[in-house]
Chains A and B, each alone.
Chain A
Amino acid sequence: MAQRDTVWMRISKHAAEKGFKIRDFGELLVAKFKDEFPSIVDRVQVTLITDADKVEEELKRAQEFYNARDERLKGLTDESVEEFYSCILCQSFAPNHVCVVTPERLGLCGAVSWLDAKAAYEIDATGPNRPIKKEGLIDEEKGIWESTNEYVYVNTNRSIEECSMYSFMDRPMTSCGCFECIMAILPEANGVMITTREYGGDTPVGMTFSTLAGSVGGGVQTPGFMGHGRAYVLSKKFISADGGLGRVVWMPKELKDSLGDELRERAEEEGLGADFVDKVADETVGTTADEILPYLEEKGHPALTMDPLM
């Protein structure tokens, strides 16, 4: 599950011996585009670039498109739209999971933004993304609507009755299996920690990404734990019902670095101060609650004095 420039593919030696060529990726792409988008695609040409310098150069051009799309999405808020979109792409393996994709909360795989879902719906109205009208507000803070509840209930085979958009503690959204990150409550610090698919090591809750994935995945509601996309950390709606970004006490260094300046900006916007990012512990500080608590206290992490999570 990846898109943009994060797709990795490797050809095994075995496949190469049997005659697989890089050209075959192109053939596959052509076939797939024609198959998936017959209503908008007539002819397809694929150019594969193998010159590393040329790739770097073209990547810059691609980045401009990515950025433009991100900027467009940034202008959108959950309040400013009439409808959210569902994503049930993962139901082939997690039949009781539904992602509700909002402008400020992308699919937990990180690959489906609100704009992507909207476009997908416009291309294929019977596909995995469908509009959910925002109707019958139940709880504004937690993000619960009658219409989203109803959609989730029907499409989770009647197993999830209610689901909140902005809380990971109270009836959180379910997780399929392809989440980029998993957040977990860290009761000792009255906060939340985030680990990523890329970070395979131990975390302060005592569970690795794969152990956590095993217990939160598969379309079940697991209060205190939730799969999410990397970009969700930067959203104004990031667990906003539970205290937002200020709750984050630990994340892998790699995630911190990759979110970088944007994370600093968000922290400032939230009134947490630009140095908030440095108050968040990572694996270089420690991977157990005991190791990171003194650090959080020393730095004066805001989560320690926030309302109790439990």
Chain B
Amino acid sequence: MGLTGLEIYKHLPKTNCKDCGSPTCLAFAMALAAGKASLDACPHVTDEAKEALDSASAPPIKLVKVGTGDHVVELGEETEIFRHDKRFFHPTGVAVLISDTEDVAAKAEQFDNLEFHRVGMDFITDMVAVKCDSGDAAKFKEAVETVAGKTEKAMVLMADDPAAMEAALEVVADRKPLVCAATADNFEKMTELAKGKECPLVVQGKDLNETAELVGKVEGLGHKDLVLDSGARETSKVLADLTQFRRLAVRKKFRPFGYPAIAFATKEDPREEVIQAGVYLSKYADVVVLKACEKQQLLPLLSWRLNLYTDPQKPIAVEAKLYDVGEPTEDSPVYLTTNFSLTYFIVEGEVESSRIPSRILSVDTGGVSVLTAYADNKFSAETITEAMKACGLEDKVKHKKIVIPGHVAVLKGALEEESGWEVVVGPREASGITKFAKDNFS
């Protein structure tokens, strides 16, 4: 919730000089409020006004970065309680937990190999957490060093003992790990360590009140890259606390909770642990730590994260172009569909399973499905013919035959006339493609 246009206007020069490109200061203020302009466009705004506007328009939740190089994980800067009101911005960091009492090297290796490619996207477990269960600073340091040697991904260091943390930071401070955690007992030392190495710090209270108080103390010591942990570990309690963090930060601008939050899955059974992590990922953990490290365990969690963090205002689209399935030749069949990603990938999957090398032309329909696009005139004889020309289809295949979705069989005549190609009406549902392909093309 930013400032209203009128509140912004009060800080502007009110000269209507038009130097910003807007006809009046009020119009500029309204554009600022809507996020359609930047204050930099006004050359006459005073420094005091700038500061007042900057701090008032600062995001309700601070952006905190963990890691370095290509593996920086950005947390926070969320502005919504409900995704449908706008969108969620920074996907929850999913951190796999490695204890310094297990086979650290083996698990770290397994972790680093966790990558999935599905529906044209990469699913990545982006963080690794190393926990000091041994109580031995030297052992923790060794474990951290081993993990750091196996993976470049962002790290979370978990130790309550400042001595252990200090030892670990000696080897990985330049990787900007998330230091976990400052508690009521150790916050002075932990803050000093994290601040000294410019690493983000988890502040862990025993409940919401103590967390807020502790945040104040840590901020007082001059460290402001913080991540919240209310200390709760029971699923329903964690969910309640995470919800309060988000609500108080976004709705009430309660500054002590204006930081991202971390949550820890505790269940022993991996299936239950993933479900628990899913709860936290949904509402409103910015980092979730769990032990599970098998692909089949993590994929559902990462898929859910992908779904949550896509922009609900934009249909999910694939690039509109000619796709090859297998190694098509100039005799291979050509299928036609839209660039709505769900439609496209279902068609692609079916064409693939027909085991006949083919091409799929995905027409730019603004990411909407076949019938919707047809109704909106975005999937018409004209747009399709244009797409066929744009990708140079004529030069790629010898035949002049194209398969259209059965649901738009009505397009056949118009498309044949417009494109000069023979139009074959394919099945209504993608599930019929395999059989259709075998009957017609093999």
Contacts and interface: CB of A to CB of B under 8 A. Distances in A.
Interface in B86-108: none
Contacts of B149: none
Given A222-B5, A223-B4, A205 B24 contact: yes
Given A187-B14, A215-B33, A205 B26 contact: yes
A169 B5 CA distance: 12
Interface residues of B, number: 17
B16 A206 contact: yes
A205 B5 contact: no
Interface string B16-34: 1000001110110011011
Contacts of B254: none
B345 interface: no
A204 B23 CA distance: 9
A223 to B, nearest CB: 5
B27 A205 contact: yes
Nearest to B28: A206
B6 A223 contact: yes
A187 B5 contact: no
A290 B14 CA distance: 12
B6 A206 contact: no
Contacts of B14: 187-188
A222 B4 contact: yes
A290 B18 CA distance: 13
A215 B30 contact: yes
Contacts, number: 53
Interface SS, B side: helix
Given A206-B27, A211-B27, A290-B16, A185 B22 contact: no
Contact of A187 (B4, B9, B23): B9
A215 B22 CA distance: 14
Contacts of B4: 221-224
Interface string A61-86: 00000000000000000000000000
Contacts of B34: 214-215
The 5 closest A-B pairs by CB, nearest first: A206-B23, A206-B24, A206-B27, A224-B6, A215-B30
Interface in A180-220: 184-188, 202, 204-207, 211, 214-215
A288 B23 contact: yes
B26 A206 contact: yes
Given A187-B14, A289-B16, A225 B5 contact: yes
Interface of B: 4-7, 9-10, 14, 16, 22-24, 26-27, 30-31, 33-34
Contacts of A169: 6
A188 B9 CA distance: 12
Contacts of A211: 27
Contact of B27 (A188, A207, A290): A207
Contacts of B33: 215
Contact of B26 (A185, A202, A290): A185
12 contacts: A169-B6, A184-B26, A186-B26, A187-B26, A204-B24, A205-B26, A206-B16, A206-B24, A207-B23, A215-B5, A215-B31, A310-B6
B259 to A, nearest CB: 24
Contacts of B31: 215
B247 to A, nearest CB: 11
Contacts of B27: 205-207, 211
Contact of A289 (B6, B24, B30): B24
B30 A185 contact: no
A225 B5 CA distance: 9
Contacts of B6: 169, 185, 223-224, 310
